[in-house]
Amino acid sequence: MNLQGYIVRRVCMLPLMVVGITLLTFVLSHAVPADPVSANLGDQAAANPAVVAAFRHQWGLDRPLPEQYLIYVWNLVRGNMGISISTHQPVLIDLREHTPATIELALAAMFLSLIIGIPLGILAAVRRDTVMDQLGRGVSLIGVSIPVFWLGIVALFIFYARLGWAPSAGEISPRLPLPPFVTGFVVVDALLAGQRAVALDALAHLALPAIVLSSASIGVITRMMRGSMLDVLGEDYVRTARSKGLPARRVTLRHVARNALLPVITVIALSFGGLLSGAVVTETVFAWPGLGSYAFQSASSLDFPAIMGVGIVVAVVYVLMNLLSDVGYAAADPRVRMG
């Protein structure tokens, strides 16, 4: 199969996945015993049958489930994701406000995981069973075992409360104005607006949460890169390259690392999903105004439209990342396309 055909087929799967995702979020948030009426109306209002009936009617909660779903999907197709029961804003607007902050945080964490995890994995594999290897394995073990919310609190305590190196929680210092909304990434927006001081301040705020969030994915990527390097190091073509008398460094980087990166691409995409999960808890620790904080707030008040909106955005991002990684993998390794 050629690459275009592969991409077209994968992209065609996308709408099906999205329909499935909406169905799943809908079933999950409706086929449960919890009552959104009591969660969103005060006790007094919930005791008044007229108020309750009006509430149910307004949100379509008095119709059969399949009908509620169709109403939801029809609205979704027109870009209407409903109005958040708790913020009284259209969910689409809430998501537009909160999504960039999370993507910014996740991308920063992903960047850190790559520039630390890949070299560490390479070194650990090349210097197998040395101190470097132990360090790499130690980092990956701690990385996957540490509770990210605890690491966040400890980091805030050390670097903010004690040493004063890091700014307080939040996306930007309260005294500074937010730059005009262009991309939603505060650092980028500030640079676009030519506000260097604001950009630096935002970058300083981003550093600690990004480091904390990256802990798990650094572990996963280091471990995967090491394992993949070890597999490739045993290949015949590596021995051939060595016997040709190529310098060790060149063999490691050009022959081994490039091939070892292939399976790691998939893991990178998967750990992006993990980053989005980790972002939920990290954001609550660092008062980061992203999807995680929004999801948590809407989940605790049973805000169905908002929960479904977050679920859809996150799942779609995840599916897109998977698509990108599969296509990237197929583009980089012709053997996959043949299979």
Partner 1 sequence: MAADASALPAPRHGWLRALPKPFVRSPLAIASCAVVAAWIAIALLAPVLVGSPLAQDIAGRLAPPSSAHWFGTDPLGRDILNRVVYGARISIPVGLAAVGLAVVLGTMIGSVAGATGRAVDETLMRLTDLMLAFPTVILAMIISAALGAGIRNAVIAIMVAWWPTYARFARGLVLSARDREYVEAARALGASPVRVFMRHILVNIISPIVILGTLDVGRAILTFASLSFLGLGPPPQIAEWGSMIAAGRDYLDQWWIATFPGLAILTLVVALNVVGDSLRDTLDPRLRGE
| Residues at the interface with partner 1 (CB under 8 A) | 17, 20-21, 24-25, 28-29, 32-34, 137, 141-142, 144-151, 153-154, 156-157, 160-161, 227, 230-231, 273-274, 276-278, 280-281, 284-285, 295-296, 299-300, 302, 307, 310-311, 314-315, 318-319, 322
Q: Can you tell me which residue has the tokens 């999807």?
A: 291
Least distance (Å) from partner 1 to the CB of residue 199? Answer: 27
Least distance (Å) from partner 1 to the CB of residue 168? Answer: 10
CB-wise, 108 or 295, nearer to partner 1?
A: 295
CB-wise, 183 or 266, nearer to partner 1?
A: 266
The CA dihedral of 112, 114, 119, 120, to the nearest 10 degrees, is 70
CB-wise, 141 or 197, nearer to partner 1?
A: 141
| Whether the Cβ atoms of residue 36 and residue 302 lie closer than 8 Å to each other | yes
- Three-class SS string for 270-321? HHHHHHHHHHHHHHHHCCCCCHHHHHHHHHHCCCHHHHHHHHHHHHHHHHHH
CB-wise, 192 or 319, nearer to partner 1?
A: 319
CB-wise, 318 or 329, nearer to partner 1?
A: 318
CB-wise, 8 or 154, nearer to partner 1?
A: 154
The CA dihedral of 306, 312, 318, 324, to the nearest 10 degrees, is -130
Least distance (Å) from partner 1 to the CB of residue 121? Answer: 12
Least distance (Å) from partner 1 to the CB of residue 6? Answer: 18
The end-to-end CA distance of the chain, in Å, is 9
Least distance (Å) from partner 1 to the CB of residue 38? Answer: 11
Least distance (Å) from partner 1 to the CB of residue 233? Answer: 11
CB-wise, 113 or 189, nearer to partner 1?
A: 113
State the CB neighbour count (10 A cutoff) for residue 200.
13
Least distance (Å) from partner 1 to the CB of residue 122? Answer: 16
Least distance (Å) from partner 1 to the CB of residue 70? Answer: 19
Least distance (Å) from partner 1 to the CB of residue 231? Answer: 7
Q: Can you tell me which residue has the tokens 């690491």?
A: 151
State the CB neighbour count (10 A cutoff) for residue 289.
18
Q: Which residues contact 51 (CB under 8 A, 6 or more apart)?
A: 41, 45
CB-wise, 198 or 269, nearer to partner 1?
A: 269
| Whether the Cβ atoms of residue 190 and residue 206 lie closer than 8 Å to each other | no
Taken in order 76, 77, 79, 80, the sign of the CA dihedral is negative
Read off φ and ψ for residue 338, nearest 5 degrees. Answer: -65, -30
Residue among 292, 315, 320, 312 nearest 92 (CA): 312
CB-wise, 117 or 274, nearer to partner 1?
A: 274
Which pairs from 235-242 meet CB under 8 Å and 24+ separation?
235/259
- 162 burial (CB, 10 Å; 0-12 / 13-18 / 19+) is exposed
